[in-house]
Amino acid sequence: MSPGGGPGRGKVLIVDDEASISYSMRRFLTASGYHVDVASTLAEAEERLAAAGYGLVIVDLRLSTSDDLQGLDLLRSLRRDNPRTKTMVLSAYGSPELEEAARQCGACCFLHKPQPLSEIARLVGEWMDGRET
């Protein structure tokens, strides 16, 4: 079993620069049976995506203290390079315009932080099992 490894309901990549959020989501989703990897930067996320296939990527829009929306860049590259990978945005920075931009870049849904782990897990299950709502 790999370091992020649950016994195999699917592979999830969490891309968030807030370690406490990534840690909590990883533990919760791993306990739910998913293989979960974490990346805290755009470069690290791209490296992980090049090395492995994921069923779902959970992306924060801001991956640093700057105002750059690197999460949108990641969504665009995922849509281009891995069109079958589902993407979910989980961000503290949201507006109707950002939500629309994320959807245009291929995001399945846009969630605002904070979000209960049980709700994230429910949505992950729906997207990973093909029961999108």
**What's the pLDDT score for residue 94?**
78
Q: What CA–CA distance (Å, rounded) separates 107 from 75?
A: 7
For residue 131, name the pLDDT band (cuts at 50, 70, 90).
low
Q: Give yes or no for residue 2 having a pLDDT over 60.
A: no
Residue range 93-102: mean pLDDT, rounded: 89
Please give the pLDDT value at position 66.
61
Q: Indicate the CATH number for domain 11-128.
A: 3.40.50.2300
| Mean pLDDT along residues 27-43 | 94
Q: Cα separation of 118 and 123, whole Å? A: 9
pLDDT at residue 64, rounded to an integer: 73
* Distance from C-alpha of 18 to C-alpha of 93, rounded to nearest angstrom: 14
pLDDT at position 67 over 70? no
